[in-house]
Structure 1
Amino acid sequence: MISKWLWTLRSILRQLWVRVAAYAALAMVAASAAPTLSPLVPDGWGDVLGDDAVDSVLTILTTAMLPVTTFSLSIAVNAYSAAAQTATPRAIALLQEDPTTQKTLATFLGAFVFAVVAVIGLSANYYDTGARVILFLASSLVVLVVVFALLRWIGYLQDFGRMENILDRVEEAARDSLNTRLDMPYLGGHPARDPAPDYAHDIHADATGYVQHIDVDAINTWAEDAGAQVWLAAMPGDYVTPGATLVRVNGPAPPDTGLDEVRDAFAVDRQRSYDQDPRHGMIVLSEIASRALSPSVNDAGTAIAVIDRQLSVLLDWRARREPDVVFDAVYVASVEPLDMVDAAFRPIIRDAANHSEVLERLILAFQVLRTRAPEVFDAPVGGLLDDLDNRVARSDGLSDWDLDRINRCRE
């Protein structure tokens, strides 16, 4: 488990502007450091290159890189918009955090900043003959880096933002989140097999939004200092409002400072996060399938692709082992198979009631889950199959042939 400040720092570092700003700052340092390296240039190199050599390279960079950066940024924005319209707005965050896109835009803008700073330095006679040689070599290296980034960007754009690309990203995020949670099913605390005592004190939220991250270490430290035990009542992915219970405390009534310490351990924001919330990835996948099954889209193939990916993620489920208790004063509920399969498949069952091919793939996925881990998925899948049967029986969009195929799948 990572602390809240480290999680916040990691979230900031995923943003586009951070990488772009870092590359721009590095470019400014590189352009400004040429005079420092001037003594290393052998005599006569400046005469070989000539005074105008570096000017020509910098002119190319200054005139070309800003339009290239703007055009590339517009491509990324269009991809975000297309993802919101064809998949779901909840998938945009994964595209925005794409490292290849961020590196490409940062490289283009960094090259432009480098050239602008170098041109200003040349105009101010900041560079002597040796420094101009260093600047020429650095500019040539920047051109090579830009060409490589441009070639990689062209190849990358063939898939970036397309439906398969979006599905792959959401599947990976859902898989990583689920595996992380299965590795620490109780977030490092004790399993909350029994509820907190009735006389426990409640600590309530003072903000509105989704729980994105919980700093269990900070809660455990506070509880040990206070001589208390803490049951987490709000988990990552839960929606809380002022007055909603965050934790229940078995111990002395916490002072105001203790209330603030516990509340600060919860990161609450308007959007859900994939990191500690394995259900979120499954919900986003089901949203994509629901949109694909809408009458305006009618794309059963995408819905089937979503089911295949959800099945692949759920097949990673491992039997629970005795937890490694790191935080002795904290009690945490685990993620339940019922919650995962409901988030994944129940909306699709609702929207696929008139699509026999999608219903057949759902039945196949349920059979695989039951066969692979009956002790985990038998009961949750049984409830979903009952729901599927009820909706099929009430559907007026399935022919006798469709019903026959569905019944054969159930056998």
Structure 2
Amino acid sequence: MWFRAGLFCVFAVLLALASAFLGHTISYDFAAKVGSKSVDGILSLLASSMLAVTTFSLTAMVQAYAGATSNITPRAVQLLIDDSTSQNALATFLGSFLFAIVGIIALSTGIYGNTGRVILYAGTILVILFIVVTFLRWIQHIARFGRVSDTIDRVERAATDAVRMMTQPPRFGAEDNASVPSGAHVVHHEKIGRITHVDLAQIGEVADAIGADIHLVCIPGHLVDPAKPLAWVRATIDDDQACLIRDAFTIEHHRTFDHDPRFGLVVLGEIAARALSPAVNDPGTAIAVVEAGTRVLAAALRHRPSKDRLPPARVTVPPFAFSDMLEDVFRPIARDGAGTIEVGLRLQKALAALVAIDERAKADCCVEAQDAVDRGRTGLSSDRDIADLSRLHHTLWGNHGVAAP
């Protein structure tokens, strides 16, 4: 944001200098015709109005952040802060204010006459046109900025983008509890926090240097501490090589969306859980989250990493577990929406849709569908609702949790 505003300020300084040194190239008669003498008043009006518009825009953005924190989920606020349209609008308005201030200061120095004002006048008209276009876009954008549907769409896009960053498709079935073999050299990290990024190229260089495979234990999203191994290798490595492996892991205090698709699914689940709370009671939002989460999970099932996303040959990266991804988004909805038949029915259909995309997800989806129907039978107060939910579950999954063809 400061960079865009800074560009406007640099543009204003360059324009003031150009007006002083290139003004002699413009004839006095032409300067009189275009009304360059009025540039003083235009810049004064621009400075006062842009300060007010900047304050208004900043207030609107802060209100959107506060509303998302209290009504949606605090974890989604970062996506609103990173919104490029709002950043461009605020930077444009602030930069225009700085442009007007620099222009007024330049005029007060008296370093150029009427002919030099023509260039400043033309630059001011250009800035006004840019402000008008930005302001029209901002009016359209602010109407939906920070709303629940807008936030759901942002989280879905962030989670889908993170899915495309995965180095391999998700793993199905029971959790792989393979332990570190005895005699292997284990690398730990001194920090406590969440992994946000792993530099696989740097780890690959270490693997080539030692001539052995390096097996990662942690991936983006995992919580690490000095007791949890980051990676292991069946070779002897020195302290410098261990340090290179350790430094390849970026550790932060909070999770981020960029390389962690599970975080996006967790945030979607939080949005639905808040919508299903007794204070809000909005099952429609929960159903929208189910549909958004289904699209993200479908993208994970269809994901095939491109060549530039594949890990180095000597680096083994554990895949994301599909069962964990299902639980991240659907478990909170099944828990808090157990007493709402519409949510229960939508969950069963969403899980069956995922099986239709990839049969390998059948076992994981069956477990989640059974958990949801068990919670529904306990939470629903109407016998008819319980019968409808059980009937749909039987139709989709059969007696043994097998999705119907």
Q: What is the rounded CA distance, in whole Å, between the counterparts of 2:276 and 2:177 in structure 1?
A: 39
Task: Say if 2:215 and 2:317, in contact at 8 Å, map to a contact too.
Answer: yes
Match of 2:367 among 373, 379, 383: 383
1:10-21 alignment to 2 at 5 Å? 16-21=1-6
CA distance 1:229–1:163, shift in 2 (3 Å): same
Q: Does 1:368 align with 2:353?
A: yes
Kindly indicate whether the alpha-carbon contact (under 8 Å) linking 1:228 and 1:251 is maintained by their aligned counterparts in 2.
yes
In structure 1, the partner of 2:45 is 60
- Aligned partner of 2:403 in structure 1 is none
Specify which of 189, 210, 228 is matched with residue 244 of structure 1. Answer: 228
| CA distance, structure 2, for counterparts of residue 251 and residue 185 of structure 1 | 28
Post-superposition Cα deviations, 1:87-137, rounded to whole Å, max 9, x if no partner, equal: 111111111111111111111011111111111111112334332110001
User: Which amino acid in structure 2 is aligned with residue 143 of structure 1?
Assistant: I
Does residue 91 (structure 1) correspond to residue 65 (structure 2)? The answer is no
TM-score normalised by L of structure 1:
0.88
41-50 vs 93-102, which moves further: 41-50
Question: Comparing 397-406 with 138-147, which one deviates more in the overlay?
Answer: 397-406
SS in 2 for 1:181: coil
Name the residue aligned to 1:178: 163
Pick aligned residue for 1:109 from 94, 115, 121: 94
Larger CA deviation: 69-78 vs 309-318 = 309-318
Distance 1:297 1:270 in 2: 30
Preserved CA contact (<8 Å) 2:199 2:248: yes
Give the unaligned 5+ runs of structure 1.
Answer: 1-15, 187-191
**Equivalenced residues, count:** 387
Does residue 302 in structure 1 map to residue 290 in structure 2? no
Q: CA RMSD in A?
A: 2.3
Residue 320 of structure 1 and its aligned partner are, at CA, apart by 7.0
Partner SS state of residue 211, structure 1: strand
The answer to whether the Cα contact below 8 Å between 1:236 and 1:277 also exists between their aligned partners in 2 is: yes
**Is structure 2 residue 292 aligned with structure 1 residue 336?**
no
Provide, for residues 337-389 of structure 1, a one-character-per-residue CA deviation record: whole Å limited to 9, x for no partner: 212112121121111111111101101111211223222x2011111122123
1:154-183 CA-to-partner distances (Å, cap 9, x unmatched) read: 11111111111111111111111112326x
Deviations 1:31-59 (A, max 9, x none): 44333432442442223345631111111
> Which letter maps to 2:60?
I
Q: 1:240 to 1:322 in 2, by over 3 A?
A: closer
Within-5 A mapping of 1:2-401: 16-50=1-35, 52-181=37-166, 184-185=168-169, 197-255=181-239, 257-318=240-301, 324=307, 327-375=312-360, 377-395=361-379, 397-401=380-384
Q: Relative to structure 2, which stretch is displaced further, 309-318 or 20-29?
A: 20-29
Counting aligned pairs with the same residue, the percent is 37
Deviates more, 1:345-354 or 1:33-42: 33-42
Matched with 1:189 is none
Shift of 1:209: 1.4
Q: SS at 2:166's partner residue?
A: helix
- Secondary structure of the equivalent of 2:277? coil
Which residue in the other structure is 2:400 paired with?
A: none
* Residues 30, 260 of structure 1: alpha-carbon distance in 2 compared, 3 angstrom cutoff: farther
The answer (yes or no) to whether the contact 1:27–1:114 under 8 Å persists in 2 is yes
Structure 2 residues without counterparts, runs of 5 or longer: 171-175, 396-405
Range moving further from structure 2, 67-76 or 202-211: 202-211
Contact 2:169 2:301 in 1 (8 A): no
Mark the CA change 1:193 to 1:129 in structure 2 (over 3 Å): closer, same or farther: farther
SS in 2 for 1:252: coil
CA distance in 2, matches of 1:53, 1:320: 60
Deviates further, 32-41 or 88-97: 32-41
Q: Is the 8 A contact 2:166 2:305 kept in 1?
A: no
Range that drifts further, 94-103 or 325-334: 325-334
